[in-house]
Chain A
Amino acid sequence: MCGIVGLFIKNPKFESELGTMLSTMLDVMTGRGPDSAGFAVYGKGHDGVVKMSIRGGTATDFNAVAADLERATGAALSLTVRSTHAILELPADRESAVRAALHDRHPDLGVVGSGQRIEIYKEVGLPADVARRFDLARMTGTHGIGHTRMATESAVTTAGAHPFSTGPDQCLVHNGSLSNHNVLRRTLIREGIGFTTDNDSEVAAGYLTARLRQGDTLKQALTRSLDALDGFFTFVVGTESGFAVLRDPIACKPAVMAETDDYVAFGSEYRALADLPGIAKAKVWEPEPATVYSWERAA
Chain B
Amino acid sequence: MQQYFYTLGDALFEKLEGAEQLLLGFSGEDSDFVRLNHNKIRQAGCVAQRSLSLDLVAGQRHAQTSVELTGDSALDMEQLTATLKKLREQRGFLPDDPYLNFSTAINSTEYHHDNEVIDSHDAVAQLVQAAGDMDLVGIFANGIQYSGFANSLGQRNWHSSANFNFDWSCYLAEDKAKANDRAVKSNYAGFDWQQGKLAAKMDSIRQQLSILSRPSKTIEPGRYRAYLAPSAVNEIIHMISWGGFGLKSHRTKTTPLIQMVEQGRSLAESVSLRENHARGLAPIFTGSGYIKPDHVQLISNGHYQDCLVSSRSAMEYGSVTNADYEFPSALDLAAGELHSADMLKQLDTGLYINNLWYLNFSDRNACQLTGMTRFACFWVEHGEIQAPVNVMRFDDSVFNLLGTNLLGLTEERELILDASTYGQRSNSSIELPGILVRDLRLTL
Q: Real complex partners, A and B?
A: no
